[in-house]
Structure 1
Amino acid sequence: MNFRKILVPLVGIVLLGVAYRSYGWQGVALVGGAIVMFLLLHFNRAMKVLQRAAERPVGYVDSAVMLNAKLKPGSTLMHVVAMTRALGEPKSQEGSQPELYRWTDNGNSWVDATFVGGKLKEWALTRPDGPAEDTPTGPSTLAR
């Protein structure tokens, strides 16, 4: 169970109670204003991330290799969307766990990210097969 969903509102209620006990209704107004400001800041950040993501194609990232280097386990989906500035292309069934998303770059490299409960669990970078190193890419003989 995610205790953060219970703990954060509980801390808010305790702060309101302590403010009322110490300063009366003026304290409740001050703490209530601080809680509303905290909620508005988080809402504003989420809207800004989604606004930036709406301007780009779904599943696109500038560089899959750089995204692979920046990802850390435990990152939230919102944090990854903020990094890529694009929504991931869903590869799993809607509403199922774990959630699988893909971000692809112009070089056809892609990163598949697996989220469990909204947190990044694992990811894998896939790069397209390039030309073999031992095959010549230019003319086989030099013109004299």
Structure 2
Amino acid sequence: MNKWIGWALALAVLALGFVQYGWRGVVLGLTVVVFWLLLQFNRAVRVMRNAGQSPVGYVESAVMLNAKLKPGMRMLDIVTLTRSLGQRLEGAADDAPGAERWRWGDAGGASVEVEMQRGRCRRWTLVREGDVA
């Protein structure tokens, strides 16, 4: 979700609470917003705990990861798919600000290199062991 939409929804909940119930509504709205933020934090911690139990840059099947990736996916979504933290590669394909490259490989020698732009997946490539660059 866009961060501006999230802030607008939080502000709308607080305003609606004030209009309906006064200061008690603001407290209720604030409680709802804090609960939502705690749910998001809990999800991120759970994903990172699961990823911390796997080797860095390892995925069961690079081909299946290649099939499941979509443009615009967040890094947290990719780590959820792979259940592993990616291996960071040096430099991006182009020197765009905020560009990063990550790699996940499997036991068969295939790997997926994901290029991220500002925390979102921009493009990815499947590299097999027999491929020549």
| Same-fold call, TM cutoff 0.5 | yes
Look up the equivalent residue of 1:118 and give its one-letter code.
Answer: G
Match of 1:125 in 2: 126
Look up the equivalent residue of 1:99 and give its one-letter code.
Answer: E
Match of 2:28 among 27, 30, 35: 30
The Cα offsets for residues 55-111 of structure 1, whole Å up to 9 and x where unpaired, read as 011100011011001111111010000000001000035xx6311000010011100
Match of 1:100 in 2: 101
Shift of 1:42: 0.4
Return structure 1 stretches of 4+ with deviation > 3 angstroms.
none
Shift of 1:13: 2.0
Structure 1-normalised TM-score?
0.81
Say whether residues 1:82 and 2:83 are aligned partners: no
Any stretches of 5+ residues in structure 2 without a counterpart?
92-96
Look up the equivalent residue of 1:35 and give its one-letter code.
Answer: V
Match of 1:112 in 2: 113
RMSD: 1.9
Structure 2-normalised TM-score?
0.87
Query: How many residue pairs are counted as aligned between the two chains?
Result: 127
Shift of 1:4: 2.8
SS in 1 for 2:66: helix
Match of 1:71 in 2: 69
Shift of 1:20: 0.9
Structure with larger Rg: 1
Any stretches of 5+ residues in structure 1 without a counterpart?
131-144
Shift of 1:37: 1.0
Shift of 1:33: 1.4
Match of 2:2 in 1: 4
Percent identity, please: 40
The Cα offsets for residues 87-137 of structure 1, whole Å up to 9 and x where unpaired, read as 1000035xx63110000100111000001011111000011129xxxxxxx
SS in 1 for 2:108: coil
